[in-house]
Structure 1
Amino acid sequence: MVQQFKEGFQVLFNHIWLGLSILIGSIVNIGIASFDVIILPIYANEYFKGIESFGWLLSSMALGAFLGAWIISRQSQVSKSFEKYYIFMFSVGRLVLCLSFSNLFLISLIIMFCIGFSITSFVIIWDSTVQELIEEEYLGRVTSLQIFGGLLFLPLGYYIFGLLIDHINIQIAIALNGIIIMLSSTVGVLNNRFNRTPAQNIIDFKYCRKAIISL
């Protein structure tokens, strides 16, 4: 188990695009998870009709997610356009920021629809890219580390945004949430080293295999 854990991290160290993408995704997940679990219920309660509005907002988000999954799944060679992963991620942050200024229920429903669309789109692009570019023998290790990274910072995120909501108003908390997601994803949007191709990946894995053997 220790050796497999070590090999998984070695894959990340030798694939800069992969390791940094997981790191950025983990930071973004702080914002997205805190938004879903803490911020959105309070937003629905303070701005609209509480639990009923919360249900409608989640339903709108689910419809957007369904449409995003349907459209992205129909695209061929999803992993060829990995920059869209960060563009959709950035869009989530921008939409969350817009939501902080919305007190009209219809507008909020539309924004939540777009958030669901964007989240599902970048998740599918990520999964497709990893499955295509990572060799099968390392795929389980990489996926485990991805999930580990995504969950590692969640308690910290819940604590921070819970604390913010206790001491500031919900609008500022939503705005800060959106800004965190936008700033994190901007690193990937502006850095061309994150855009990978199968050919580049094969070269990297030859180096990775030698490094693992040397250990």
Structure 2
Amino acid sequence: MNPVTATESASRNPIRNFAALFANSRAFPYLWLGNLISFLGSSVTMVILPVLVYSITGSTKTMGFVMAIYMLPNVIMLPISGHIVDRYDRVKIMMAVDIARFVIMVAIAVFSLTGILSIPLLYIFMGFYGLLDGLFRPAYSATQATVFTADIRIAANSLTQMSTQTVRLIGPSLGGLLVTHLSAGIGFGIDAFTYVISLYCLIYLRKALMPRLQPQHSANSIRNLEAAAAPAAAPNWKEDFKEGIAVLRSHPWLWITILTFSFFNICYAGVTSILIPWLFKVHHGWAPYVYGLAVTCSGAGAIIAGLLYSLRQKWTHRGIMAYGGVILSCLALFLMPFIPNAAAAIALFAVEGFGLMIFGLIWEISLQELVPQEAFGRVASLDLLGSFALLPVGYIVVGWLADLIGGIPTIAIFSGLGLLCAAFVLSIPAIRKFQ
């Protein structure tokens, strides 16, 4: 077998590529497992939370306020978090956040189990939780970009996204079963415990990265030091913010997509976080486990997309592929209110997950390719800021409009706007021709 044929054969064997990740990178297994375990807890909570709120109030407006109060501190934190992440030890930041999130989830679990959890208390807890997420996400993205070196990048991103979606096969269904047969408090307690496991993995991740954290004399070691933990940054967060914007402006794919998703996420997240749970629980009256199963099938669709993407080391026409995936997801959401059958609605969730995974993989890989390591925290925070800045307003507007004109028309309006938005962006040459 000649060398070219051997390379092609290896690239088409995703199992071999995934196994190589654990052999070639000491840090990858700890980052991967810690994220996977904590996501399991979060996926349980994200099913339990809307069911709990609707059980207490039955109001889409209240659910909109819960999500807005979670997102607002998150957004406020992001411009500062990029500065913090690029100046201090990123793994230590994640460890501190995991400890704080453990405390919050334990408190929610205790209050829920004792029957004294109220909507005002939930507002307070979700506000603090959102603030911590606004610090954790840029730190995780920057650490991920350091660990996912060029030789393992496609396989590492594909496996991470696929395994995360695999958890969606378990977590949402588990959350639905817990809230149906036990209590919401048990689910929140499970979420809290996952942060303990995540913290344990982060401790070993830092040990695996220590060679890069120690000062060395060679030029290569110095570059590793700058990339791994606390790269040199500008004196204050405002200057860091400007430098992050300068990096984005040099790549039209990045800044156009970030601006697009500042609007698109209002349409998408408002529908999926507020109105789809309402559609299943209130409008159709289906049992909570049905919604959990639907979210699980979204994960199944995403896993299929991840497997297909991992079959090749290089893809062309990535701009068309990415926004084609967005259009596919929005189309599934647009059709969902008009499907009275639970099985068909669950199938549409699988289509939604497939399309969103294609976009997510292309976006993450392109960020890691285009953004310098020493500026990654700032760019990641700007990415999240652009994507989430208008979400608090969007959650409130979606919840209010659904109360005013009904949930079904509101789903059709916002998912239709998402379709139009993605189609418009595809008409821009810099997006359509992105490779």
Q: TM-score, normalised by structure 2?
A: 0.43
Specify the alignment match of 2:141 in structure 1.
Answer: none
Specify the alignment match of 1:196 in structure 2.
Answer: 434
Letter of the structure 2 residue corresponding to residue 9 of structure 1: I
TM-superposed CA distance for 1:141, in Å, is 2.1
Specify the alignment match of 1:124 in structure 2.
Answer: 361
Mapping of residues 51-90 of structure 1, within 5 Å: 51-78=288-315, 81-90=318-327
TM-superposed CA distance for 1:136, in Å, is 2.9
Mapped partners of 1:71, 1:190: distance in 2: 26
Mapped partners of 1:196, 1:52: distance in 2: 41
Mapped partners of 2:319, 2:354: distance in 1: 17
Mapped partners of 2:274, 2:305: distance in 1: 24
TM-superposed CA distance for 1:125, in Å, is 0.8
Mapped partners of 1:18, 1:150: distance in 2: 12
SS in 1 for 2:339: coil
**Does structure 2 conserve the Cα–Cα contact (< 8 Å) formed by 1:82 and 1:196?**
yes
**Does structure 2 conserve the Cα–Cα contact (< 8 Å) formed by 1:78 and 1:128?**
no
Q: Would the alpha carbon gap of residues 19 and 134 (structure 1) be closer, same or farther in structure 2, given more than 3 Å must change?
A: same
Specify the alignment match of 1:4 in structure 2.
Answer: 240
Mapping of residues 43-192 of structure 1, within 5 Å: 43-45=279-281, 46-78=283-315, 81-192=318-429
Specify the alignment match of 2:262 in structure 1.
Answer: 26
**Does structure 2 conserve the Cα–Cα contact (< 8 Å) formed by 1:34 and 1:157?**
yes
TM-superposed CA distance for 1:80, in Å, is 5.1
SS in 1 for 2:338: coil
Q: How many residues align?
A: 197
Mapped partners of 2:290, 2:429: distance in 1: 41
Mapped partners of 1:141, 1:79: distance in 2: 28
**Does structure 2 conserve the Cα–Cα contact (< 8 Å) formed by 1:65 and 1:116?**
yes
**Does structure 2 conserve the Cα–Cα contact (< 8 Å) formed by 1:83 and 1:188?**
no
Mapped partners of 1:68, 1:177: distance in 2: 25
**Does structure 2 conserve the Cα–Cα contact (< 8 Å) formed by 1:79 and 1:129?**
no
Letter of the structure 2 residue corresponding to residue 21 of structure 1: T
Decide which moves more: 14-23 or 144-153: 14-23
Mapped partners of 2:317, 2:240: distance in 1: 29
TM-superposed CA distance for 1:39, in Å, is 0.7
Mapped partners of 1:75, 1:82: distance in 2: 16
**Does structure 2 conserve the Cα–Cα contact (< 8 Å) formed by 1:78 and 1:125?**
no
**Does structure 2 conserve the Cα–Cα contact (< 8 Å) formed by 1:85 and 1:122?**
yes
**Does structure 2 conserve the Cα–Cα contact (< 8 Å) formed by 1:62 and 1:116?**
yes
RMSD: 1.8
**Does structure 2 conserve the Cα–Cα contact (< 8 Å) formed by 1:82 and 1:129?**
no
**Does structure 1 conserve the Cα–Cα contact (< 8 Å) formed by 2:247 and 2:371?**
no
Specify the alignment match of 1:202 in structure 2.
Answer: none
TM-superposed CA distance for 1:5, in Å, is 0.9
Q: Which residue, out of 274, 293, 314, partners 1:38?
A: 274
Letter of the structure 2 residue corresponding to residue 126 of structure 1: W
SS in 2 for 1:100: helix
Larger Rg: 2
Q: Would the alpha carbon gap of residues 22 and 106 (structure 1) be closer, same or farther in structure 2, given more than 3 Å must change?
A: same
TM-superposed CA distance for 1:79, in Å, is 6.6
**Bigger relative CO (Cα 8 Å, ≥ 6 apart):** 1
Gaps of 5+ in 1: 198-215
SS in 2 for 1:77: coil
**Does structure 2 conserve the Cα–Cα contact (< 8 Å) formed by 1:66 and 1:117?**
yes
Decide which moves more: 93-102 or 45-54: 45-54
Q: Would the alpha carbon gap of residues 78 and 3 (structure 1) be closer, same or farther in structure 2, given more than 3 Å must change?
A: farther
Letter of the structure 2 residue corresponding to residue 196 of structure 1: F
Q: Percent identity?
A: 25
Letter of the structure 2 residue corresponding to residue 178 of structure 1: S
Letter of the structure 2 residue corresponding to residue 15 of structure 1: H
